[in-house]
Amino acid sequence: MLILASQSPRRRELMAREGLDFTVVVRDTEEVHDASLPPEELCARNAAAKALAVAAEYPQATVIGADTLVFIDNTPLGKPADEAEAVAMLTRLQGRTHCVCTAVAVVMPDGSRRDFAEKSFVTFRPLTQEQIMHYMSLVHVYDKAGAYAIQEHGELIIESFEGDLDNVIGLPVKALVHKLHA
């Protein structure tokens, strides 16, 4: 049995697209927001907390937890709380390159772990406040780290990216499949 311990619709879509047969089970966990931690470690702690919370209830299953954050100037940007915070995030990202880090924790039925992290780099176009507001009128930004989604009208705000596109979306699914079959 394969369980995704995430409520992210993007992660569900990526896993389904890859042909994985899985169930979604989510438990409330306290996320770490310690900006002093390196990106991989901060995301890894959150991914592990999600996976371990579900694995405790389903010890016979393989459980996948994931956490994605946007980092700029070594500062993590999570999901914006409101419009003002979303505008501030997009304003901070405009015209610059930032890191998207996704950590994945895989808890196996024998209790072992196969954890990993991926980093990708995204460069935003220079944007005016009008362009930011237009983007926000098209995309629901409040459930997205950094207040954007590369797959939703990304061409309006993104100049380029390096790395795994699926990682930027929220789950490096090819790397995950490799870990599941390792």
Distance of CA 17 to the CA centre of its chain: 17
67 classed as catalytic:
yes
Burial 128-154 (b: 16+ CB within 10 A, else e): eeeebeebbeebebeebbbbbbbebeb
Task: Give the pairing type, strands 2-4 and 23-24.
Answer: parallel
- Please identify which of the residues 67, 143, 164, 166 carries the catalytic annotation: 67
Cα atoms in the 13 Å half-sphere on the side-chain side of 22? 25
Rounded to whole angstroms, the Cα distance separating 166 from 148 reads 14
In the chain, the largest separation of any two C-alpha atoms, in whole Å, equals 53
Q: Which residues are known catalytic residues?
A: 67
